Amino acid sequence: MATQTPTAIKPKQDTAPEQQLQKLREIYADAPEVGRVALEKIMRELEAAHRARQKAATAGRIGLRQGTVSELTSIVKLKPGDAKRLRTLLDVLGNNFQGADKVGTLHDMRFVFLDNDTKLLFATAYDGDWDPYIDDFATKIPDALDVLFCDAESYPGMHSPAVRDWTASNQITADA
C-alpha cells in the first residue's frame, strides 16, 4: 500500500495572502541562489496568481479537483519481475493505451516505472468526481485494465467490488 509522505512545511489555507507570500520568501531564504533570484523575479506573478486562485477541492473519495478537472495519482507495487510483461504490452500498443479513449471523462493517462521496475506510477486527469470515474473504468474498459494491472500486488480485478478500495489504498493525493 502506498503511503503519502507529509510535506515538511505546508502553508495554512486560512493565512492572509501577504503572510503566505512572506512565508514563501522565508522558506527560500536558504535556497540555492538560482532559486532565490528566480523567486524574486516571479514574485509579482505569484502575488497576482494568489489573488486570482481557485482553491482546489476534493475529487470525492480521494484526490484533488480544480474546477471540473480531477486528478488520480497511484503508485502500485509490482510483483517481482513482472514489469517486463507490462512494458511489452505498452510497447505492442506503441506506448499509447488507446482503450482509454472509451472513458469520455479522461483527459490523459501516464504510466511510469519506478525503483528498478518494482513500482508503477499511474496518473490521470479526468472530469468530475472519483466514484463515477472509477465506474467508467469498471464498465467501459475492465478487461484492458485487468491486463494492465494484473501484475500489481493485491490487484483484485476490475470486476471485483474490492477494486475501489484497492485503488484508493494505492492513491496519493497530489499536492498541486
Residue 26 scores a pLDDT above 80:
yes
Question: Distance between CA atoms of 159 and 175, rounded to whole angstroms?
Answer: 30
pLDDT band at 102 (very low <50, low <70, confident <90, very high): confident
What was the pLDDT predicted at 63? 60
Question: Distance between CA atoms of 68 and 33, rounded to whole angstroms?
Answer: 37
Going through the chain in order, the beta strands assigned E by DSSP cover 57-58, 64-66, 69-77, 106-114, 119-127
Closest CA to 65 of 20, 125, 4: 125
What was the pLDDT predicted at 14? 47
Q: Do the beta carbons of residue 71 and residue 58 sit within 8 Å?
A: no
Residue 13 scores a pLDDT above 70:
no
Helix (H, G, I), strand (E, B) or coil at 141: coil
pLDDT per residue over 128-147, tens digit each?
Answer: 888 888 888 888 889 888 98
Q: Do the beta carbons of residue 91 and residue 49 sit within 8 Å?
A: no
Residue 62 scores a pLDDT above 90:
no
What was the pLDDT predicted at 82? 84
Q: Do the beta carbons of residue 95 and residue 113 sit within 8 Å?
A: no
